Structure 1
């Protein structure tokens, strides 16, 4: 767990599938706000030890980290699949929640899962893949989707460090509504993993007060950390007005 805590309102960062909390490191470099980079459960253990985990196990593990952390008020920042986890986590932290920022994030409707956000053909294909091949895509798919605008070195790091998630993170449904707090969706204009049509659907589900666009692929925390940091800092400064 990485943390830095001095201010009143802090940021809680939730990464997407296959990634580690350190993916946010460039974003929080020189950050003037308290932050917590949430770790997923059993990250250093074998996949077999994680295989049976539910989405609720991920949420419980994340909430424990937030509960042990200092700031009373928080803004949750969620990326990709982490949007599903963060959506459920936010419902457990309504007394502390100051806002949510979704960065190219999956935001299902009440009663939905990650799979539920996908168009029907892709949903069926994804269901088969999860059952037969598991949750780690082929290297070529990771490079084409997640790493489309990264440097060769960054792409190699993502491919080499990709950690398969438990299947139920993709399939478990969340029975919560989006909290009534300040919300921002950061749209990723060149995302090859979540096309703009899918992001527009997520924006509709999320109903944010604000939408901003970054001209990046799926991992802006690596390809444009300064731009993402500026958006987050501006969101918090607006919140404090």
Structure 2
């Protein structure tokens, strides 16, 4: 039996996986959606980058999980990638869902890109938190109006320190058994850092013809891909 640990991206909690959980459990697997500190029902809990890494490692250890597939969406690929190397032989595979990936010594906002500068500005303007997106930001991502409303209504401000503190990796990320799921409506190709990791021989690429939030737009298809990757 595989144990899936599901970690959603910025602003979201375990609730974001509600439509993905049933088909995974129907396959006879353990499924453990996780809310990171400072988000959703854990609002008010202080959190930095390493807090989120420990949230994931601690959940695996607390539940005594083995044959673990860690799934990180968007921002959460950064703490998930770090947690993957820290759980040792409990890990079966990492699946990055249209996500960022960690680089040792770098943070979510490292690099100086326009969107990263906008994140830093939002943190400065909102008391140390990254403000959630609004409905127009989700246009063109394969989501219905109802799905967009669900995401917007459930989102909570994201702790800024988790985005500005650097990742810590003990060994090359490319040595982990991993799958990267690229959501094509959010860009036709993986970012350069992901492309480099895919070229290393340990990582696989899967594609979905949907937007950046496939747990809402294509939950059954996403679950099928996760099941396929867990079986490798």
TM range (shorter): 0.7 to 0.9
User: What secondary structure, in the 3-state scheme, does the structure 1 residue paired with 2:69 have?
Assistant: strand
The offset of 1:119, in angstroms, is 5.7
Query: Structure 1 unaligned runs (5+)?
Result: 1-6
Say which SS state the counterpart of residue 106 (structure 1) adopts: coil
List per-residue Cα deviations over 1:131-174 (Å, max 9, x = no partner). Answer: 123311352454337xx321111111111111111101111101
Query: Is 1:200 paired with 2:191?
Result: yes
Q: 1:143 aligns with which of 131, 138, 141?
A: 138
Count residues with an aligned counterpart: 221
User: What does residue 41 of structure 2 align with?
Assistant: 44
TM-score when scaled to structure 1? 0.83
The alignment yields a C-alpha RMSD, in angstroms, of 2.1
Moved >4 Å (runs of 4+): none
1:62 aligns with 2:53: no
User: Where does 1:17-28 land on structure 2 (aligned, <5 Å)?
Assistant: 17-28=10-21
Report the 3-state secondary structure (helix = DSSP H, G, I; strand = E; otherwise coil) of the residue aligned with 2:179.
Answer: strand
- Distance in 2 between residues matched to 1:113 and 1:225, nearest whole Å: 29
Note if contact 2:135-2:149 (Cα within 8 Å) is conserved in structure 1. Answer: no
Is 1:166 equivalent to 2:159 in the alignment?
A: yes
TM-score w.r.t. structure 2 length?
A: 0.85
Runs of 5+ consecutive residues of structure 2 not aligned to the other structure: none
Change (3 A) 1:149 1:61: same
CA change 1:171–1:206 in 2 (3 A) is: farther
- Determine the structure 2 residue equivalent to 1:212: 206
